[in-house]
Amino acid sequence: MTAVPAPDSMFVGWNGGGCSGTDSCTINVQTATTVTAHFEKIVASCPTITEWKGEYWVNSTLSDTPVLCRNDASIDFDWGYDSPDPSILPDNFSAQWTRTINLSGGSYLFHIDHDDGARLYVDNMVTPVMDKWGTCCVVDTSAPITLSDGNHVIRMEYYEGGGAANAQLWWEKVSPDVTSITRADPDPTSASSVHFNVSFSENVTNVDAADFSLTTTGVTGASVTGVAGSGAARTVTVKTGSGNGTIRLNVVDNDSILNGGGFSLGGAGNGNGDYTGGEAYTVRKDPTFADVPTSHPYYQDIEILYANNMTGGCSTNPLKFCPNQIMNRGQAAAFMLRGNFGPSYVPPVPTHIFKDDWTKGPWAEGWAEGMRNEGFSAGCLANPLKYCPWDLIPREQAVIFALKLKYGKDYMAPPATGTVFADMTNPSFYATSWAEQAYKEGIIPNCGMSGGKPKICPKDLVSRGLAAYMIVRAKNLSMP
Ligand SMILES: [Ca+2]
Ligand SMILES: [Ca+2]
Ligand SMILES: [Ca+2]
Ligand SMILES: [Ca+2]
């Protein structure tokens, strides 16, 4: 006797009549004898599923229990005349793939390619969005489906009758989105109107002032006054009204903004294309510092430095910054350490390691020792040990401070070329590599042009205003 299991079962052994084990059994029948063959259903156990849960049946109707459960990276199968697995015969099998997937909100088209039939479910596991059970061998596309931002459950059911077999699922987002809203003008601003750059994921039409709103603090009378541009970009002009505060531009989706396919922003429905994550302007109609008017070339940088608690100015009543005062090494130490460790950094109590004359400004001694303790500067002279706090800082030294502020005390600039500047052409000079790198990274502006090349003016001294410019860029600071 031989026991032959059905495709979804396995033979587990004989019982009775002198038969045992799972080999074939021969019995000599002389009296009534009962021999029982025991079978067990194959119940597939699933491994850890990280992508699609793929369950496979050895019938074409998803009936009974699956014989195989596995993690499938994608639903992209072309089995030809073969089968998904050695445990499954090439005809009359079925499968189901299930996955919870995070999608950004919008309108989607789902596509299935199938031989033989398939059904697709999205979120609703009772009513399929596509039912192609019994229709074979074409690519089918769903109607547009609008999905919210977040998790969605997708299930595809599939069967193979005979001949070749394949199963594929993919989808595409067909509605446009706002991808960013950024400031087009310097920030902070005292201007009566400012501009925002609005970017969309693709070309759109029907963008006008009614599609925008403003979120403001402090200011009154701000309004959207114009929308220019085409394609996937717009520039929106906003009147800043009166008062000091902030203005952010938002997109309010009313389904009027459409792409070339006629799909509305964020998918069908108002509100699903809203965008409130853009950059804001800080509006300051009156400057913070009495000596830094809004027309000052470093006005934005100094305001940003102040707003980030990185400077208290040079005098308090009236509040002044002294933007044109030349920075000395003592002041640079304070900028450097605050810039690196944050505004709450407190310099160490001096232990008088530097033999400088501190009577001109006792405040600087702790900052100088902080620079040495933190490894930013060993000093200016080794014997006797001095820091030279009152030496003024030329641009060729400031670029080193700025790059170390950006990347840390151990940073070294890459080798110099000597070809960047009209007035700094010796690649072996100690500061050339630092100046070239700082200029390349936009940390220091040029000081003019000569013969088609920028000038760096290495010996020019650095004002506190320029120092603000360099710190803002080295630390990538903006209005908080
Ligand atoms: Ca087949
Ligand atoms: Ca087939
Ligand atoms: Ca509109
Ligand atoms: Ca919409």
User: Do both 442 and 354 map to the same domain?
Assistant: yes
Report if residue 3 sits inside a domain. no
* Domain range enclosing 468: 299-474
Question: Burial letters for 31-69: b for 16+ Cβ neighbours within 10 Å, e otherwise?
Answer: eeeeeebeeeebebeeeeeeebbbbbbbebebeeebbbb
User: Do both 341 and 470 map to the same domain?
Assistant: yes
3-state secondary structure the chain: CCCCCCCCEEEEEEEECCECCCCCCCCCCCCCCCCEEEEEECCCCCCCCCCEEEEEECCCCCCCCCCEEEEECCCEEEEECCCCCCCCCCCCEEEEEEEEEEECCEEEEEEEEEECEEEEEECCCCCCCEEECCCCCCEEECCCEEECCEEEEEEEEEEECCCCEEEEEEEEECCCCEEEEEECCCCCECCCEEEEEEEECCCEECCCHHHEEEEEECCECCEEEEEECCCCEEEEEEECCECCEEEEEEECCCCCCEECCCCECCCCCCCCCCECCCCEEEECCCCCCCCCCCCCCCHHHHHHHHHCCCCCCCEECCEECCCCCECEHHHHHHHHHHHHHCCCCCCCCCCCCCCCCCCCCCHHHHHHHHHHHCCCCCCCECCCCECCCCCECEHHHHHHHHHHHHHCCCCCCCCCCCCCCCCCCCCCCCCHHHHHHHHHCCCCCCCCEECCEECCCCCCECEHHHHHHHHHHHCCCCCC
Report if residue 293 sits inside a domain. no
Check which CATH number belongs to the domain holding 104 and give it.
2.60.120.380
User: Do both 368 and 384 map to the same domain?
Assistant: yes
Phi, psi (degrees; rounded to nearest 5) at 210: -70, -15
Report if residue 343 sits inside a domain. yes
**Cα of 22 to ligand 2 centre, how many Å?**
35
**Cα of 105 to ligand 4 centre, how many Å?**
10
**Cα of 116 to ligand 2 centre, how many Å?**
5
pLDDT in tens, the chain (480 residues): 888 887 777 888 888 888 888 888 888 888 888 889 888 877 778 999 999 999 999 999 999 889 999 999 999 999 999 999 999 999 999 999 999 999 999 999 999 999 999 999 999 999 999 999 988 888 999 999 999 999 999 999 999 999 999 999 999 999 999 999 999 999 999 999 999 999 999 999 999 999 999 999 999 999 999 999 999 999 999 999 999 999 999 999 999 999 999 999 999 999 999 999 999 999 988 889 999 999 999 999 999 999 998 888 888 889 999 999 999 999 999 988 988 898 889 999 999 999 999 998 999 999 999 999 998 888 889 999 999 999 999 999 999 999 999 999 899 999 999 999 999 999 999 999 999 999 999 999 999 999 999 999 999 999 999 999 999 999 999 998
Angle (deg, nearest 10), helices 432-440 and 395-407: 60
User: Do both 19 and 58 map to the same domain?
Assistant: no
User: Do both 62 and 163 map to the same domain?
Assistant: yes
Looking at the DSSP bridge assignments, the partners of residue 392 are 328
Report if residue 292 sits inside a domain. no
Ligand approaching nearest to the C-alpha of 161: 2
Would you state the structure tokens that stand for residue 199, as one six-digit string? 């970017």
**Cα of 111 to ligand 2 centre, how many Å?**
18
pTM of the entire predicted model: 0.71
User: Do both 228 and 258 map to the same domain?
Assistant: yes
User: Do both 232 and 306 map to the same domain?
Assistant: no
Ligand approaching nearest to the C-alpha of 264: 4
Report if residue 1 sits inside a domain. no
Ligand approaching nearest to the C-alpha of 253: 4
User: Do both 358 and 273 map to the same domain?
Assistant: no
**Cα of 245 to ligand 3 centre, how many Å?**
28
